[in-house]
Amino acid sequence: MDFLRRILGIIWISIGLWAGYYLVISQAIPKFESSAPEDMVPAIIYTFILAPIIVGGMFVFGWYAIKGEYNQK
Amino acid sequence: MDQKISKKKLWGVIGASSVGTLIEWYDFYIFGSLATIIATKFFPIDNPTAGFLSTLATFAAGFVVRPFGALFFGRLGDLIGRKYTFMVTLLIMGFSTFAIGLIPGYETIGFFAPILVLLLRLLQGLALGGEYGGAATYVAEHAEPGKRGLRTSWIQTTATAGLFISLFVILAVKHSMTKESFEDWGWRVPFLISIVMVGVSYFIRKNMDESPMFQKAKDEGKTVANPLKESFGKKLNFKFVLLALFGAAMGQGVVWYTGQFYALSFLQKVCNIEFDQTNYIIAIALMAGTGFFVFFGWLSDKIGRKPIILAGMLIAILSYRSIYDKMYATSDVSNKEEIAAKTIIKTETVVDAKTQQAFFVTKTTKSYKDGTTFNEEKKVKVNAASTDVPMIKQSILVGSTSFWTLIALVFVQVIFVTMVYGPIAAFLVELFPTAIRYTSMSLPYHIGNGIFGGLLPVVASSLAIKASLANQAAKVAGKALPYDKPYLEGLWYPIIIGGISFAIGLIYINGKDKNIND
């Protein structure tokens, strides 16, 4: 089980990177390009709040997992 | 715990903490529930800057500021004590709510109005960010070993009860006066009466003692000088902050927001069910489900927090699409038998007082055998160009059987909420030591709920709209429709986030109960 915990770290890092790409490229940039003021706030939140939390958080979580920090033996 | 606390004192602790937290949730929710009226008073739609401030007030204050409140007040709570900190948050929340009720409208003081509302809403978000962690920690640190799930579950009922009371107060005030009076000044009443509730709660809390565990740690010099550095700068603690966020709070947040807020928005905006009836459906389902927070808190003391939280997440993500499909089908009038003889169609010409534009307004009322009524108002400009899109407002008042079916479908979702949310406070406090507990548990909770949960309505609506537009484009192009049921597409957000959180929780969380006495 500890081996699985470590290996899955790669998946968590990948999910974080994919989510960051999706949030910024697919969601935020089209909103930044739109002229509607109500689109600006979600775009700012996706880019400067949600993406850093997911990318940074999942990266560190995945890294800790790979390093065996969550091993239970 | 060294000192044994009497049952009477323990109930006093639970009562004082829960009532204060409930009032904070009430204060927080009335802004959201009255958002439409507030927008007309403070954020005129024809002014883009005011529109921007309005969106900022909804998002930034409601969701994004909460984690900052968690950090700021969490740090204070770990430095000077739980009791004083959550009294400060209560007062800030009470003052902000009361002050919103006093601000003159945009027409009187211009741009000061939306700016003041935004600032006060930010204060509300900060206060809420600090309140919950304090109350949960305070109760958990008083609770007997083996009963922390049960004792803290009372705190867990407050978020739902706060929403329920906010709906009740708004409906009661609304029905006690004319529609015009409510829209003119009556909407301020729910804000203003908050000061009375906060005052009462303040005096109850004022007489409480500091948490025995924190007091002991303080007396023994075991508190830390920099809780933020200790919580997030040290791998030993930070790895648990991440685990609490991704393995529990994130999934719990989306299940909670789907069950309470997305359900409300789905009934109103997708199913077009009339405003008051939607609120009754949600309020009855919440009232029926609230006791289950305590039940699952109690059960988590017996079988562990992990199995209940993860089971709630799993069942929720597996059943959401079926539940929402059924909600849609229940309110869909094309599935109902119409009484053609009762159909009323009226057309009149109306001139808009502001713009002097004339419109043809067609009002249609249809009745159905199950007691459902469908109303539609179609507004078309006189001399409209062929490209002008008519403005259509629809509302459905469902019959008795559909009404109770919808309550049952929302109730099931509330049960999922109680499974993931009932034991979460006990789970979070058990992950961290006394010296950094307030800071460490507050942050993952508010990121999970405020950000992952709070953004759910926007992300889910955006996915559903994208699917509808893709279907429309395919229809125009004569291609096959890419989405069978576009109204269900928004659910992929809670399903995916909940699924990831479930997997992380299942694999990485050690399900053994911990001893928070350090």
Does residue B294 contact residue B151 with C-beta atoms inside 8 Å? no
Domain count, chain B: 2
pTM (predicted TM-score): 0.89
B87, B209, B223, B226, B303 from B81: Cα distances, Å: 10, 10, 10, 14, 32
Q: Is A68 left (phi over 0), alpha (psi -120 to 50) or beta?
A: left
Q: What is the pLDDT of residues B32-68, one digit of tens each?
A: 778 778 888 887 766 666 666 676 666 666 778 889 9
- B52: which chain A residues are within 8 Å (Cβ-Cβ)? 37-38, 40-41
Picking from B158, B34, B33, B23, the residue whose alpha carbon sits closest to that of residue B93 is: B23
Whether B178 maps to a domain, the answer reads: yes
Residue B467 has pLDDT above 50, yes or no: yes
- Per-residue pLDDT averaged across B131-136, rounded? 88
Domain-terminating residue out of B364, B385, B400: B400
**B55-64, B110-119, B342-351, B501-510, range with the lowest pLDDT:** B55-64
Distance in angstroms (rounded) separating the CA atoms of residues B404 and B395: 18
Q: By three-state DSSP, how is residue B366 classified?
A: strand
Distance in angstroms (rounded) separating the CA atoms of residues B441 and B137: 9
Q: Between chains, do A37 and B51 touch, taking CB under 8 Å as contact?
A: yes
Closest-CA distance of chain B to residue A33, Å: 16
Domain-terminating residue out of B355, B380, B400: B400
Closest-CA distance of chain A to residue B193, Å: 31
Does residue B361 contact residue B353 with C-beta atoms inside 8 Å? no
B49 in contact with chain A, both atoms CB, cutoff 8 A: yes
Same structural domain, B344 and B468: no
Pick the more confident residue, B397 or B392. B397
Q: Between chains, do B49 and A38 touch, taking CB under 8 Å as contact?
A: no
- B45: which chain A residues are within 8 Å (Cβ-Cβ)? none
Same structural domain, B467 and B344: no
Does residue B194 contact residue B26 with C-beta atoms inside 8 Å? yes
B275 in contact with chain A, both atoms CB, cutoff 8 A: no
- A40: which chain B residues are within 8 Å (Cβ-Cβ)? 52, 55
Q: Which residues contact B226 (CB under 8 A, 6 or more apart)?
A: none
ipTM: 0.94
pLDDT band at B106 (very low <50, low <70, confident <90, very high): confident
Distance in angstroms (rounded) separating the CA atoms of residues B239 and A29: 32
Distance in angstroms (rounded) separating the CA atoms of residues B415 and B168: 21
- Give per-10-residue mean pLDDT for chain A (73 aa): 94 96 90 78 85 95 96 82
Same structural domain, B312 and B347: no
* pLDDT of the residue at B359: 87
Same structural domain, B358 and B443: no
Element (H, E) at A45: helix A37-45
Does residue A59 contact residue B237 with C-beta atoms inside 8 Å? no
Same structural domain, B21 and B127: yes
- Per-residue pLDDT averaged across B510-515, rounded? 64
* pLDDT of the residue at B383: 80
pLDDT band at B515 (very low <50, low <70, confident <90, very high): low
Q: Between chains, do B508 and A65 touch, taking CB under 8 Å as contact?
A: yes
B127 in contact with chain A, both atoms CB, cutoff 8 A: no
- A38: which chain B residues are within 8 Å (Cβ-Cβ)? 51-52, 55
* pLDDT of the residue at B51: 67
Same structural domain, B364 and B462: no
Same structural domain, B223 and B92: yes
The range of the structural domain enclosing residue B387 comes to 340-400
Same structural domain, B293 and B202: yes
Whether B222 maps to a domain, the answer reads: yes
Whether B1 maps to a domain, the answer reads: no
Tokens of B197: 């509730």
- A59: which chain B residues are within 8 Å (Cβ-Cβ)? none
- Per-residue pLDDT averaged across B423-434, rounded? 92
Structural domain boundaries in chain A = 2-66
Does residue B43 contact residue B114 with C-beta atoms inside 8 Å? yes
